[in-house]
Structure 1
Amino acid sequence: MVKKKHGVIIETPTEARQAEPGPSILLLLIISVSIAVIAMGIVWFLFFRT
């Protein structure tokens, strides 16, 4: 709930972010980094292997 104090809106950090932190961000980061590493491995294997 938004509260005003001396004309300034006072919010908690969660209200200011409009979201709650959760494990979904960590999961997204792990998956995207894993895909990038696999893709770079495939490119190395196809083009730079001697």
Structure 2
Amino acid sequence: MTDPKEPVRIEDEDGRAARTPGTLRYILGISLAMAIIAMSLVWIVPALTR
């Protein structure tokens, strides 16, 4: 039996019951780049047609 005063240590993956592959950072980076490109096109294309 464990000592009730001793803290319980659980690894990250065991505590969440999931893996952390890190794909979210790629999704955020790609979406940020796409937003910057889209906003640039909205600004540049009308400026060139005037």
TM-score class, shorter: 0.5 to 0.7
Identity %: 29
Equivalence map 1:4-43=2 (5 Å) = 14=13, 17=16, 19-43=18-42
Larger C-alpha radius of gyration, 1 or 2? Answer: 2
Scaled by the length of structure 2, the TM-score of the pair is: 0.54
Give the structure with the higher percent strand: 1
Q: CA RMSD in A?
A: 2.9
CA distance in 2 between counterparts of 1:14 and 1:26 reads: 18
Q: How many residues align?
A: 46
- The CA distance in 2 between the partners of 1:18 and 1:26, in whole Å, is 20
Q: Which has the higher helix share?
A: 2
Aligned to 2:43: 44
Ranges in structure 2 where 5+ consecutive residues have no aligned partner: 1-10
